[in-house]
Amino acid sequence: MGAAAAAVMIRKEKELVAHFRSLGAVSPDSARPRQDFADDSSNAWRRLFRHAVLREAPGGTWYLDELSWEALRNTRRRVIAIVLVAVLVALLTGLLIHP
């Protein structure tokens, strides 16, 4: 169940990022007012804001920080890889100890 919830969370974040891109809100100069975004009170918005992916520009406008988005995605990939390696090591250790 946790994996499904994580997948939904990531999908909603990707949809929000795509919406920012579709509006061209990818720099402080091209930032858009918050009402241009469908659900600005969503968990995805809060998570991306917390990770500095969504940033507020002067005048209460918002934009997507592409570098922060890529950094967040890379960090998540590394964490997943580490978890998978740890699970694999645990399984192999279990097989070697109890053949």
**C-alpha span between 64 and 17 (Å, rounded):** 7
Q: What is the DSSP string of 50-87?
A: HTTSEEEETTTEEEE-HHHHHHHHHHHHHHHHHHHHHH
> Which residues, at least 6 apart from 89, have a Cβ–Cβ distance to it below 8 Å?
none
Q: Is 0.75 topped by the overall pTM?
A: yes
What is the pLDDT tens value at each position of the chain, 99 positions in all? 577 888 888 999 999 999 999 999 999 999 999 888 876 668 999 999 999 999 999 998 999 999 999 999 999 999 989 999 999 999 988 888 876
The ranges assigned to domains in the chain are 2-70
